[in-house]
Amino acid sequence: MRTKFLKFSMILAIAIAFTNCKDKAEEANTSDAEAAAVSESTSEKYTVNVAESTIHWKGFKPTGTHSGTINLENGVFKTDDGKLQSGTFLIDMKSISVTDLESGDGKENLEAHLMGTVEGKEGDFFDVTKFPTAAFEITGTEAMAAGKTRLSGNLAIKGQKHNISFPVTITNADGMMTIESEAFTIDRTTWGVNYGSKSVFDNLGDKFINDDMELKIVVKAKKA
């Protein structure tokens, strides 16, 4: 009986591992910060519609996941011959929202912890009092297969800036441009978000939080 149980446990573990690998979003390429892209003086300008733009996030731990959204504060893009060339947007870190929990069921507590508004825990995650905004500035674009574009840019969080690149779909019609990424992951510890990381702290047991953080960006901008 014990032998059968051990065999079943091994098969179950392999199946779980395979499922996690299969379902995991592609990791963004991360490197040192680069020079921001510059457009021609004749470029057309697009202003981000913050009401219709969102960053979706997801965090992982052994017992499950948490997910939510973050709003944009503002942003501007420029195009040359209708193609995205440069631009930046600011991320309102004080707008971090948890969407998988109900109000009164831990939602407010987790949001406060993530934002760093809990006394004594300000630096655990994003410390929004000290760092109220994050930022993304485009450093380059590259055409991919199936009409997709690899977007590269400097992502600044908590005063640390690194370049990331990931696939996006860009549509431009009737004076409205939409930039929508596939889900991708970044290693949060690269930006100094270290709370609960096994790669930073020892003896966490199963009380850790995965270093990988999943993001999906949807940005809409109107031609000025």
CA–CA dist 106, 207 (Å, integer): 17
Q: To the nearest whole number, what is the mean pLDDT of the chain?
A: 90
- Over residues 99-125, the mean pLDDT reads 97
CA–CA dist 115, 166 (Å, integer): 26
127 pLDDT band (50/70/90 cuts)? Answer: very high
Q: Does residue 1 surpass a pLDDT of 90?
A: no
Longest dimension (CA), the chain: 76
Residue type, 22: K
39 pLDDT band (50/70/90 cuts)? Answer: confident
42 pLDDT band (50/70/90 cuts)? Answer: confident
CA–CA dist 7, 199 (Å, integer): 30
Can you give the pLDDT at residue 206?
86
Q: If DSSP states are collapsed to H, E and C, what string results for 195-208?
A: CCCCCCCCCCCCCC
Can you give the pLDDT at residue 13?
43
The CA distances from residue 57 to 19, 24, 51, 171, 196, in Å, are 20, 13, 17, 22, 17
Which pair of structure tokens corresponds to residue 217?
């960006």
Q: Does residue 18 surpass a pLDDT of 50?
A: no
Domains of the chain: 28-223 (2.40.128.110)
Which pair of structure tokens corresponds to residue 193?
């978000």
Higher pLDDT: 73 or 39? It is 73
Q: Does residue 58 surpass a pLDDT of 90?
A: yes
- Over residues 124-146, the mean pLDDT reads 97
Task: Report pLDDT digits (tens) over 65-105.
Answer: 999 999 999 999 999 988 999 999 999 999 999 999 999 99
Q: Does residue 10 surpass a pLDDT of 70?
A: no
Q: Does residue 139 surpass a pLDDT of 50?
A: yes
SS3 category, 214? strand
Is 11 in contact with 46 (CB distance < 8 Å)? Answer: no
Can you give the pLDDT at residue 6?
44
The CA distances from residue 78 to 3, 37, 132, 134, 178, in Å, are 64, 10, 25, 20, 13
Can you give the pLDDT at residue 24?
67
Q: Does residue 54 surpass a pLDDT of 60?
A: yes
Residue type, 17: A
Can you give the pLDDT at residue 200?
94
CA–CA dist 76, 56 (Å, integer): 20
Q: Does residue 205 surpass a pLDDT of 90?
A: no
Whether the model clears a pTM of 0.75, i.e. scores above it, the answer is: yes
The CA distances from residue 205 to 59, 79, 173, 213, in Å, are 18, 49, 51, 20
- Over residues 192-205, the mean pLDDT reads 93
